[in-house]
Chain A
Amino acid sequence: MDNSKNYWTGLDELDKTEAYQEGLENEFPAQQKVDEFLADDRLKETNTGRRDFLKFMGFSLAAATLAACETPVVKSVPYVVKPEEITPGVPNYYASTYYDGHDYGSVMVKTREGRPIFIKGNKYHGHQAGALNARITGSVIDLYDSSRLKGPVAAGQAATWDAVDAAVASGLSSARNVVVLSASVASPTTQRAINAFATKYNAKHVQYDAVSYSGISEANRRSFGSAMVPTYDFSKAKTIVSIGADFLANWLNSNLYAPQYGMTRRPEGEWMSRHFQFETTMSLTGTNADTRVMINPSDEGKVAAALYELVSGSGSGKVDGVSEMALQNAANALKATKGASLVVAGSNNPDVQEIVNAINQSLGSYGSTIDTSKPLNMFKGDDKAMTQLVRDMKGGQVDALIVYGVNPSYSWYAAEEFNEGLAKVKTSVSFSGKADETAARCGFICPDSHYLESWNDLSLTEGRVDLVQPAITPLFDTRQAQETLLKWAGVESDYYTFLRSTYNASYDMSMMYTDSDWNAAVHNGYMMAAATPVAEATVVEDASAEAPAASNLSAAINAVKKISGGSMQLAIYQKTAIGNGAHASNPYAQELPDPVTKVTWDNYVTMARSDMEAMGLNIYIAQLDHASLVKVTAGGREVVLPAYMQPGQKPGTIGIALGYGRGANGENIGRAAFQTAENGDHLTDENGALVPVGKNVFPMATMMGGYPVLANMDVSVEAMGEEYPLASTQMHHTYMGRESVVKETTLGAFLAEKDKKKGYASWNRMHALNVHEDTNNDGEINASDKKSTREFDLWHDHAVENVGHRWGMTIDLSSCIGCGDCVTACHIENNVPVVGKDEVRRHRDMHWLRIDRFYSSDYTMERGEEEGLGAISTYRKMEDPAENPQTVHMPMMCQHCNHAPCETVCPVAATTHSNEGLNQMTYNRCIGTRYCANNCPYKVRRFNWFNYMGYDKFKNVNPAQDMLTRMVLNPDVTVRARGVMEKCSMCVQRIQAGKLEAKKASAPVQDGAIQTACAESCSVNAIHFGDLNDQGSNVKKISENNRSYHALEEIGVQPNIYYMAKVRNIEDQEA
């Protein structure tokens, strides 16, 4: 067999040519010897000399180096040993509790890769299903505040813990009088720690609340013999009368009352509550009232007395200047729902509160809407003890003062006296996390850890303990205040062990992971336990209050009737975002438009239009129309603030918000607490000091019988003749009778047509157009032949009904109270830029979700016609809100139109419709023509005018420009570049995550499993999110309700967001 098959590489090989033979032999040509090569004379003739060679080499090297350059690489190092619970990209949630002496809420902390980035309510185990407010939701950013102290401070210098401990210990050991001044302690174990400390040093414990409710405690002491603040239950109240209590935003546990109130505001329910509000300045609660009556601050007690007289039939029930009918109506409504009525008052005057107690007693509210058996562990502050303490300090009778969780140098009405006294205290210690007004004056600052770094227990009322657990190890060298106290008390235990021992006396570290009850409690965030803070009652001897006076109602009534007011009175109130000022450096809080005025980054004097006109002040405030400055003088104190026209402000009164003017002496409390100039630098005054945002009006409170009342009955206001820019997100305040934007009706009208099909009730009629065909089959074509606007369409429909998901939302205008928690939640969840006052003034706020607040106007087109006014004058008059208007809050965000006008106009198709009904923005593709924003009927698109995360103008306001604060950014959401459009995405990152979960579980997405940030944060359940194609879903059901409508339905853009008409519980003639 011939297997010697030959393959040639070519004909050369076959032919064995000469050249081939030669090549074969020289396959590896002999190398030329180096010396031979160098000796070659011809080399000298070549052009490339040695120097040239070096030049070439140098160039090549440089070129190669340059070509290798690229943007710096930031390496993400993966875990070498991965913690069991942390998977990069997957968030963890930890139940915890928020309490700062002002707000109390059960929270779930969302952490990503170990860092907390979002706070939401603890829906399953929290108080009121984890109802929060904007202050609590926004509190996550305080953790990353770069003005937090990085370690202990002694005499203004950074120190070590050992040094500070030693110095404080020596100070304490030589002190005769030691006082612990704290906020109301709601933590049983903290109280134990304080007690341990107090025992060792024989210290006194004084509790103090920045905004005091001691008047309520005192009134209850007089009425019931026990000084406490009871538990209120608004969900049972069929008639609510509030006399100056802003119980939806600030009064006591407002965030827990809001959901209770929300439950009573659904017209479909068995009953709907009727809400009367008697107040001076328009508060958030007042905007939600069915009937709102304007009163002077000096008349609060008189109104209470009149109501008492009317309810009990003991008097005429008249107050000068207050509508008799309104009082009568309120009293009648209260009486009609006896046993399910509730009267609350905001005043800190115990006389007023005593009368309110009497009204509630005669209405049988105790036991139903008020529960005195469950006193709150909050708001135990004792103003008289505080006054005494200041007196002692000034008298040099306090050797050591420990300030914990309060800031009296800012919030005590007589802060100068406190400061004077503080200077005389030999050893003064503050536990503040920042060098705030008080801490900066203390000898030592032993910074407390942030609540997200701490262990604690809290008890709102007896019988239940909520737990605080750390979501991150302390970022700085801080130490929990309780641990510091224990250390100084000589208790050899860390605070965690000490905390565990409160509930298990025999606890030791070996049981750390084995106690399943405890672990379950930590997991859920609470446990049912009887431990309550044992506050040692420190009764301060005061001549005026030696014996608990028996309830003397007539004395109280006489006392309040004697309160008289001057020609101008001041009501001091709190704003929803800023509260008592603890969050002054929180840029989210500063940028959250006040739910009532829509003004950001300032406090101001709210005034009635008539007063402003009389003084010649600017009423219209917009981009270049600045507010007039006025000087308010009250009790010898002056503040100069801009005046803001507030509809619903009682003429002859003004209102100023607390919580501003923080850091007035340049204390380092955070960059966002100070005003910035147009170029982004902080403003400075003539002395070069930073200028705080707003002015502090705590000192303007009036002391009435030892109780600071947030009002001043005689003030003077004078125009300064100067102007000051205010930044408001809304310049226009009425809805101009545009009923397709806002639909509202009265309860009577609603009930009359309750069962009508959607689109047919008079208060929610569908938009229809006349057509030239017999649509109603009456045999002829006439004016009654109409077709719904939905049926007129130029579009090729992409199938949306019942194909896959169609994400949608419903918003109930009846239950929405406008609190703004959703705005803050959206702000944080979606990394929405904070832009600062100057940009807001230029109408460039970036909020994806805003709450439109509309006031009613006295004028309608019909009234204009009746009065013979032309269209022009009628429209002008319709622009002006009524003197005491009704209000609508309307959350507004991208409506995710199925026929979106923005999508057609984008030249590069950067905004498109997803097959799940979302209108989606592709930031990468956007070139920023802004055509989409112009063509949006709802004006919800937001343009990145600048590079917010880099441009100097925003360095002091934008969290993304602070290396620490930017840790709060949500890694799931792109931080948008300059020049692109952005808008509500319906939290598409959450939708994707939820779908993924469902896919892993091989089950359809469950209704409610995916929640947008706004829907999740809404404590009154006004916002629902879900799949409109899921026939059983909540949103589908609500969208079919006869109250639901599309905003601006007639444009035919077919949104995926449904609103539900607002129903007011008022008589038709009042509407």
Chain B
Amino acid sequence: MQKEAAIREPLILGDKSYKDITDDVVGPIEGPAPRTWKLLITIAGLVAFYGVGCILYLIGTGIGVWGLNKTVGWAWDITNFVWWVGIGHAGTLISAVLLLFRQKWRMAINRSAEAMTIFAVIMAAIFPGIHMGRIWCAYWVFPLPNQFGSLWVNFNSPLLWDVFAISTYFSVSLVFWYIGLIPDFATIRDRMVKPLPKKIYGILAFGWSGRAKNWTRFEEVSLVLAGIATPLVFSVHSIVSMDFATSVIPGWHTTIFPPYFVSGAVFSGFAMVQTLLLIMRKAMNLENYIHVRHVEYMNIVIIVTGSIVGVAYLTELFISWYSGVEYESYAFINRFSGPYSWSYWIMMTCNVISPQLFWVKKWRRSLTFTFVLSIVVNIGMWFERYVIIVTSIHRDYNPSSWGEFHATSIDIGIFVGTIGIFSTLFLLFARFFPVLALNELKSILKSSGENFKKLHHTDNH
């Protein structure tokens, strides 16, 4: 069995047995829904319902219900898309990359982070769909054999690359998540007494019997999928960034975008994980499993990626000046001093300055502070995309077409609505799915559990 130095902070606090872990995770699923959960899902459901209403109104009336115009053809739609895709990245990074690097602390957070990924990607996928003028023709972006004539998709278009990138990413993430869930579903199945849930969890458990053979294969598949998912962490947001990088618009036409977008995505993803987990650990009494050590690790990731993002911002500014290109330099001067400079400065404050506060150990170990900052980072990352999209196109080459963008209630409604849908899905997940990878957690109980560490300590000395 693996050993861990006793001076390392434990990953599982308290005096937990294997059964305790099962009870802690499966208990909420078996018991009746708590009142808070009911309240939350009602609110989330209502917001989601409003969002769906806005979407239907949009589809029924036309894209004109948004605030877009002849100069600014994308704004909140693609901002939201990139924001949601970016959030998804943390889940994959945690489950795939950290698995490959054998980071045990991921076990407490990977399940919900992956769920967040799936739901975030679903939210992201809404936007490229509804932003189309004719959503009923959306399937034309797939290279389907058809009888419309010799019509084929345009493989030069970054939007098409997006289609492939997002759909691949979604499928791999979903499979990865589900594979991880199988042993835990089996545990639930085994404990369930009511016939219908037992049946459902039985189907979901996919005939898991807990034999050594199952476990071997499980681990092999996990590794293989982690191997497949890891490049996706980098490819998806690189490709999303190419929507902008391959264009001719000053402020978009930037080679720095792929790495900058990827680190930004991880940055925002971890912030979102923090937001969700800090609520969840409290609400579901998981303080022993998700605690300061996890939060601190994630905050360190936030410092690193936030700093990369900050460097990227400054590099962009430098290059715009150094290039000597009139349009390029104007685009950036306009970003920080033009009509939308407020959004630039929100972005700079939230994304560059705020993560640096985590250098202070006390702060990065403070749960309240982390929670606040995680929301600040997510606001900042939303504005990053808004700044890139809106400030670049609202004043591009030809000053006669310079314009403005003003969001309408439908722009806002749909964005808030996706947060509602996302929350609804996440609440359903928290209620019916094992929110921690309980069987995996058991594997580190004896090496990293607080009580076991104490026992080892006394044994050895």
Give chain A's interface residues, CB within 8 Å of chain B: 622-624, 730-732, 734-736, 738, 741, 839, 842-845, 850, 852-854, 871-872, 875-876, 890, 892, 901, 904-909, 925-931, 933-935, 937-939, 941-947, 951, 977-981, 1047-1048, 1051, 1053
A909 in contact with B62 (CB, 8 Å): no
B248 (CB) vs chain A CBs: closest residue: A901
State the CA gap A844–B157 with chains docked (Å). Answer: 26
Q: A979, B134: Cβ atoms under 8 Å?
A: yes
- Asked if B69 contacts A927 (CB within 8 A), the reply is no
A927 touches B62 (CB 8 A): no
Is B396 a contact partner of A943 (Cβ separation < 8 A)?
no
Complex Cα spacing A981 to B134, Å: 11
Contact between A938 and B398, CB atoms less than 8 A apart: yes
Do the beta carbons of A907 and B398 come within 8 Å of each other? no
**A734→B398 CA distance, assembly (Å):** 10
Given contacts A844-B69, A908-B151, A1051-B397, 5 further A-B contacts (CB under 8 A): A624-B404, A732-B395, A929-B128, A929-B131, A946-B61
7 contacts between A and B (CB under 8 A): A741-B399, A843-B403, A853-B400, A875-B330, A904-B156, A909-B153, A943-B73
Query: How far apart sit A925 and B140, CA to CA, in the bound complex (Å)?
Result: 8
Assess whether A933 is in contact with B337, with CB atoms less than 8 Å apart: no
- Which residues B117-159 have CB closer than 8 A to chain A? 128, 131-135, 137-138, 140-141, 151-154, 156-159
Q: Select B133's contact among A730, A951, A979, beta carbons within 8 Å.
A: A979
Q: Which chain B positions have C-beta within 8 A of A732?
A: 395, 399-400, 402
Contact B399 A927 (CB under 8 A): no
Could you say which residues of chain A place their CB within 8 Å of the CB of B135? 927
B100 contacts chain A at the CB level, 8 A cutoff: no
CA distance A944 to B396 in the complex (A): 22
Distance in angstroms between the alpha carbons of A742 and B326 in the assembled complex: 14
Q: Which residue of B lies closest to A853 (CB)?
A: B400
Chain B: CB-nearest residue to A980: B133
User: B63 and A943: CB pair below 8 A?
Assistant: yes
CA distance A297 to B71 in the complex (A): 39
A937 B248 Cβ-Cβ under 8 A = yes
Which residue on A lies nearest to B329, using beta carbons? A871
Q: Which of A736, A872, A909, A928 contacts B152 (CB 8 A)?
A: A909
A939 touches B247 (CB 8 A): no
Pairs A-B, 8 closest by C-beta atoms: A928-B133, A979-B133, A945-B64, A852-B400, A939-B401, A930-B73, A843-B69, A909-B154
A1047, closest chain B residue (CB): B398
Taking CB atoms, residues of chain A closer than 8 Å to B67 are: 842
In the bound assembly, the distance between CA atoms of A563 and B158 in angstroms comes to 68
The one of B134, B138, B247, B406 that contacts A934, using a Cβ cutoff of 8 Å: B247
Given contacts A908-B140, A946-B62, A979-B62, contact A854 B133 (CB under 8 A): no
Residue B249 lies at the interface, judged by CB distance under 8 Å to chain A:
yes
Q: A623 — which chain B residues lie within 8 A by C-beta?
A: 69, 403-404, 406
B70 at the binding interface (Cβ < 8 Å): yes
**Assuming A843-B71, A852-B398, is B248 touching A945 (CB within 8 A)?**
no
Residues on A with C-beta less than 8 A from B326 are: 738
- Set of chain B residues within 8 Å of A844, measured between Cβ atoms: 64, 69-70
Q: How far is the CB of A738 from chain B (nearest CB, A)?
A: 7
B163 CB-CB contact with A under 8 Å = yes
Cα–Cα, bound, A942→B70 (Å)? 6
B70 contacts A931, C-beta separation under 8 Å: no
* Residue numbers in A under 8 Å from B397 (CB-CB): 738, 741, 937-939, 1048, 1051
Q: Which of A741, A871, A926, A933 contacts B70 (CB 8 A)?
A: A933
A931 to B71, CA, bound (A): 11
Q: From A872, A934, A951, give the contact of B337 (CB < 8 A).
A: A872
Q: Chain A interface mostly helix, strand, loop or mixed?
A: loop
Docked Cα-Cα span, A980 to B62, in Å, equals 10
Question: Given the complex, which residues of B lie within 8 Å of A875, measured CB to CB?
Answer: 330, 333-334, 337
Q: Which residues of B contact A622 (CB under 8 A)?
A: 403-404
Interface string of B34-62 (1 = CB under 8 A from A): 00000000000000000000000000011
Q: Which residues of A contact B249 (CB under 8 A)?
A: 934-935, 937
Docked-complex contact B248 and A930, CB < 8 angstroms:
no
Cβ of B145 to closest chain A Cβ, rounded Å: 15
Interface centre among B154, B333, B337 (most CB of A within 10 A): B154
Within 8 A of A (CB), among B390-448: 393, 395-404, 406
A935 and B248 contact, CB distance less than 8 A? yes
Inter-chain contacts of A854 with B (CB < 8 A): 399-400
| Contacting pair B73 A738 (CB below 8 A) | no
- In chain B, positions 290-340 with a C-beta closer than 8 Å to chain A are 326-327, 329-330, 333-334, 337
| Interface membership of B68, Cβ < 8 A | yes
Task: Tell me the minimal C-beta distance from B228 to chain A in angstroms.
Answer: 25
A738 surroundings in chain B (CB, below 8 A):
326-327, 397-399
| B160 interface residue per 8 A CB criterion | yes
CB-defined contacts of A939 to chain B, threshold 8 Å: 70-71, 396-398, 401
Cβ-defined contact, B248 with A927, below 8 A: no
> Across the interface, do B63 and A730 meet the contact criterion of CB distance under 8 Å?
no
**CA–CA, A951 and B61, complex, Å:** 8
Q: Does residue B74 face the partner (Cβ distance < 8 Å to A)? A: yes
CB pair A1051 B248 closer than 8 Å: yes
A872 CA to B335 CA, complexed, in Å: 11
Residues of A within 8 A of B243 (CB): 931
CA distance A935 to B138 in the complex (A): 21
Q: Which residues 260-307 of B have a CB within 8 angstroms of A?
A: none
Measured between beta carbons, the chain B residues less than 8 angstroms from A907 are 141, 153-154, 157, 159-160, 163
Residues of B within 8 A of A850 (CB): 400
Residue of B132, B153, B393, B399 near A929 (CB, 8 A) is B132
CA of A876 to CA of B404, assembled, Å: 16
Chain A residue numbers with a CB within 8 Å of B393 are 934
Q: What CA separation (Å) do A1053 and B406 show in the bound complex?
A: 30
Q: Which of chain B's residues have a CB closer than 8 A to the CB of A937? A: 248-249, 396-398
Neighbouring A residues of B400 by C-beta, 8 Å: 730, 732, 735, 850, 852-854, 890, 892
Docked-complex contact B248 and A1053, CB < 8 angstroms: yes
In the complex, what residues of A have CB within 8 A of residue B140's CB? 908, 925, 927
Q: Nearest A residue to B403 by beta-carbon distance?
A: A843
How far apart are B240's CB and chain A's nearest CB, in angstroms? 13
Most B-side CB within 10 Å, residue of A736, A908, A951, A980: A908
Contacts of B399 in A (CB 8 A): 732, 734-736, 738, 741, 854
Q: In the bound complex, do residue B247 and residue A935 qualify as a contact, i.e. CB atoms below 8 Å apart?
A: yes
Closest B residue, CB atoms, query A1053: B248
B73 near A933: Cβ-Cβ < 8 Å: yes
Min C-beta distance of A939 to chain B, whole Å: 4
Closest CB in chain A relative to B435 CB, distance in Å: 37
CB–CB B153/A908 < 8 A: yes
Closest A residue to B393 by beta carbon equals A934
Q: Which B residues between 77 and 99 are near A, CB-CB below 8 angstroms?
A: none
A893 to B60, CA, bound (A): 31
| Chain A proximity of B75: nearest CB distance (Å) | 10
Q: How far is the CB of A188 from chain B (nearest CB, A)?
A: 47
Q: Are B159 and A843 in contact (CB under 8 A)?
A: no
Q: Which of A892, A907, A926, A951 has the most CB of B within 10 A?
A: A907
Q: Which of A732, A853, A947, A981 has the most CB of B within 10 A?
A: A732
Give the distance in Å from the alpha carbon of A864 to the alpha carbon of B378 in the complex: 39
Interface string of B356-384 (1 = CB under 8 A from A): 00000000000000000000000000000
User: Is B333 within 8 A of A943, CB to CB?
Assistant: no
Interface centre among A736, A741, A930 (most CB of B within 10 A): A930
Task: Give the one of A624, A845, A928 with max B CB within 10 A.
Answer: A928
Known: A934-B73, A1051-B397. A978 touches B151 (CB 8 A): no
With A843-B403, A934-B393: A927-B133 Cβ-Cβ less than 8 Å: yes
Provide the bound-state CA to CA distance between A123 and B22, in Å. Answer: 90
The residue from A624, A905, A941 contacting B247, defined by CB atoms under 8 A apart: A905
A603 to chain B, nearest CB (A): 23
Across the interface, A892 reaches (CB within 8 A) one of B141, B152, B153, B398, namely: B398
Instruction: For A839, give the chain B residue with the smallest CB separation.
Output: B64
A734 to B248, CA, bound (A): 22
